[in-house]
Amino acid sequence: MARRSILSFAKRTVRMVALFVPAFLVASRAHAQATNRFTVDERSSLAWWQMSPHLDHLWATTCPQDPNWQPGSERSSGWAYDPSKAPKTGHSNIIDTVHVPLYPRPAGQAQAICPAAVRGEIAVADTSSWRGVKGLISIRSDAFITGLNMRDEYARKAVLQSQSYPDIRFHLDSLADVRRGDTITANAVGQFELRGVSQPMVVPIKAWKEGSGMRVTGKFTIRPAELVEKYRVSQLALGLGVGTGIWHYLHLGFDVVLRSGVPGQASASQPTR
């Protein structure tokens, strides 16, 4: 009698497992398919920085090919320069937190003309609520151009030390305060990494559909003194700008185009080079 009960229980267990396993596998596949992955279109994406006050020359981009951009008054020969587009403040020591960046790329003008300086991958669990967002945006530290060759080379060697720290990164952990519409606004919460040092950072972003991709822009501000205090940049290398308090703000930002899908099997937290 006991043996018959045990056999009956075993058969019921086998039937339950047989029903449960396929359902579990289907649910697992559905969950995997629900994760949306986006990669940065490197040829259409850029990053930039701008000092305030900029003194008519302290700004840079990774995409000087962008027709909306131009260098400042202190530049090497060979650059196209339109004085009518230049800041009206000139070399004046005027703090400007409005025209940041000075030469933004308008909506609808993300052309595939940029050097491969910005790369990354983003994974999104739910694109309707934009929850479960994680990823990494990585920028080549040697790719920033101000237009003055001597300054750019000095920045790579003495300030950013690009040979030792080739990438500037933003590790995205989540989106907060998401407001949906034709243009999505949110706060990207994560870690900003410069010269191998990571600090918590919240970056206000905007996103909208552009062409066959999604255009995302974001910018944030740090005190120039933090380059020394937090990111271990030599104060001697930064010179009088930080030493005498001439620089008040350092603005940093990105303007990237995301495409749906991931080439190969690249991880969202470790983009391919």
pLDDT band at 34 (very low <50, low <70, confident <90, very high): low
pLDDT by residue (tens digit) across 104-115? 999 999 999 999
- Structural domain boundaries of the chain? 1-34, 35-260
Among residues 126, 123, 161, 138, the alpha carbon closest in space to that of 47 is found at 138
Reported for 66-70, long-range contacts at CB under 8 A and 24+ positions apart, including other chains, are 66/103, 66/105, 66/111, 66/113, 66/114, 68/103, 68/104, 68/105, 68/106, 68/109, 69/103, 69/105, 70/103, 70/147
Q: What is the pLDDT of residue 265?
A: 37
The architecture that CATH gives domain 35-260 is Beta Barrel (2.40)
Predicted confidence (pLDDT) at residue 33 exceeds the cutoff of 90: no
Percent of the chain with pLDDT over 70: 83
Q: Are 31 and 119 in contact (CB under 8 A)?
A: no
Task: Tell me the pTM.
Answer: 0.83
